[in-house]
């Protein structure tokens, strides 16, 4: 069974979005190769050449993952296997019908004169004998069959619920990959802007140095900032490419190029804002417990195990079976007929089995206690998940607002530093510092904006809801008759 609490959306963004925090690393001479064309550049050029290509939305990603990913088919196959086990449990209530054909060749020719003298008539005897037998066996009463049937029905219901939960987990994993990839690509865009600013600053520093308005050290400092920015850009592009590879694999695409551009949450109607309190209330937690398919599957499995635990105690009750048989032969019998029929009843009463049923009952009751404790733990985990998701969403909203203000201030700071340097009122290291701070602020803004989306997805996951593009199966947990 899939565990939704194992899926953590927000931390996934950290690897892709924290590249800006390492911008102070000094680039090696080989980092100059970062300006060479990359797969990301190729896709950007292709997107520009084909402006009619629609961006890939969150809804489309989720829908395709549910349609093409193998995990959805695996979950469906497991559910179908449980239905087959239920059909096998029903088989005990149906009679068994067997047809048997037999051919016998006698090595010696039969002697019938003795039978004629004893019974006053001849019998039809032959060296080749053909026999056909039809047998019917039916269980009239088996007290053990009823709990086993209920156990199979509950297990099949749990399998259907587990299939639903597996598909839901897959939908959120696709949304997770979409957010991670989108964040990585936005970091690439911020890194490209930093490189462009660095190149502009280097050109200005060299011009001022040639005019003897500034020292050569200013140009060297601007070049160092540019090479650092190029190194950061190369790392960001590699991270984005890895994220696109993972998303393409999840969606069963041949290559990341088939993804095309991704729709930003700022323009994607599928990722619109949601309203709700900043803290979870008891009614919301109660609804989450009722809505979560994984909890309902655990409840069904617990009831199924309780039925299975009651079966050994019913083995002491006798079992009654009926059987009927009809036999047709090409050889005449002593009664003058070549066919025969019979019916019968069989009563089986297991008196003593070496305490085997007692041991099985104890084992199964222990499993019941184990599953009951696991269900209680899972229910309490839902409470924690909902409360944690609410706190995370509130925190991300606050961080998004602060990051927006910081990003605006960083842009103004970089513009002012550049203007002052052009007027000879500041030094090159101040311009480089302003550009680095602008890049870090843009990365932080990207992290905060996508963090809000990730927190919303995490809350929907905890509440048992489905992301956009995924529709829960109707009556997934309904038990079969």
Give me the pLDDT at residue 116, please. Answer: 54
Please give the Cα distance from 246 to 238 (Å, whole number). 13
Average pLDDT score over the chain: 80
Tokens of 110: 């039969």
Give me the pLDDT at residue 477, please. Answer: 42
Q: Give the total residue count for the chain.
A: 481
| Digit-coded pLDDT (tens) for 8-46 | 444 434 444 343 433 333 333 333 333 444 444 544 444
| Digit-coded pLDDT (tens) for 82-129 | 999 999 999 989 999 999 999 988 887 766 655 555 555 555 667 788
Domain boundaries, the chain: 4-105+123-463
Q: Are strands 319-329 and 339-348 parallel, antiparallel or unpaired?
A: antiparallel
Assess contact for 466 and 472: CB atoms under 8 A. Answer: yes
What mean pLDDT is predicted for residues 329-341? 79
**What are the phi and psi torsion angles at 359 (to 5°)?**
-65, -40
CA dihedral (193, 197, 199, 200) positive or negative: positive
CA dihedral (415, 420, 426, 428) positive or negative: positive
pTM for the predicted model, two decimal places: 0.72
- The CATH-assigned architecture of domain 4-105+123-463 is Up-down Bundle (1.20)
Quickly tell me which residue has 């229910």 as its tokens: 379
Give me the pLDDT at residue 112, please. Answer: 60
């Amino acid at each position: 069974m899939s565990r939704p609490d194992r899926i953590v959306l927000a931390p996934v963004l950290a690897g892709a979005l924290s590249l800006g925090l390492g911008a102070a690393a000094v680039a090696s001479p080989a980092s100059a190769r970062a300006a060479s064309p990359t797969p990301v550049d190729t896709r950007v050029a292709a997107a520009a050449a084909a402006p009619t290509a629609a961006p890939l939305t969150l809804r489309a990603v989720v829908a395709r993952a549910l349609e093409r990913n193998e995990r959805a088919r695996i979950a469906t196959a497991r559910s179908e296997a449980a239905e087959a086990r239920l059909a096998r449990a029903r088989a005990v209530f149906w009679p068994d019908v067997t047809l048997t054909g037999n051919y016998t060749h006698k090595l010696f020719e039969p002697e019938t004169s003795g039978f004629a003298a004893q019974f006053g008539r001849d019998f039809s005897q032959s060296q080749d004998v053909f026999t056909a037998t039809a047998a019917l066996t039916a269980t009239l009463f088996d007290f053990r069959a009823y709990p086993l049937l209920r156990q199979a029905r509950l297990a099949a219901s749990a399998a259907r619920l587990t299939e639903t939960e597996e598909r839901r987990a897959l939908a959120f994993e696709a949304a997770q990959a979409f957010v991670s990839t989108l964040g990585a690509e936005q970091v690439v865009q911020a890194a490209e802007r930093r490189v462009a600013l660095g190149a502009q600053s280097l050109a200005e520093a060299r011009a001022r140095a040639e005019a003897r308005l500034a020292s050569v050290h200013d140009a060297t400092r601007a070049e160092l900032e540019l090479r650092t920015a190029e190194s950061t850009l190369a790392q960001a592009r590699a991270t984005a490419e890895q994220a696109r590879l993972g998303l393409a694999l999840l969606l069963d695409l041949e290559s990341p190029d088939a993804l095309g551009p991704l729709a930003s949450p700022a323009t994607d109607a599928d990722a619109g804002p949601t309203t709700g309190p900043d803290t979870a209330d008891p009614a919301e937690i109660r609804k989450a417990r009722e809505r979560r398919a994984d909890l309902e599957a655990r409840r069904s499995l617990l009831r199924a195990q309780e039925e299975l635990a009651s079966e050994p105690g019913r083995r002491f009750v006798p079992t009654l079976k009926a059987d009927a048989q009809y036999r047709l032969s090409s050889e005449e019998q002593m009664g003058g007929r070549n066919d025969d029929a019979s019916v019968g009843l069989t009563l089986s009463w297991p008196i003593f089995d070496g305490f085997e049923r007692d041991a099985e009952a104890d084992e199964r009751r222990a499993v019941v206690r184990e599953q009951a404790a696991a269900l209680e733990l899972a229910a309490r985990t839902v409470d924690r998940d909902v409360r944690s998701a609410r706190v995370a969403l509130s925190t991300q909203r606050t961080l998004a607002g602060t990051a927006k203000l910081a990003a605006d201030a960083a842009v103004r700071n970089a513009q002012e530093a550049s203007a002052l340097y052009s007027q000879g009122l500041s030094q090159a290291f101040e311009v480089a510092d302003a550009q680095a701070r602008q890049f870090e602020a843009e990365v932080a803004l990207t992290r905060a904006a996508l963090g809000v989306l990730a927190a919303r997805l995490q809350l929907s996951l905890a509440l048992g809801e489905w992301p956009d593009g995924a529709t829960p199966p109707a009556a997934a947990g309904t038990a079969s008759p």
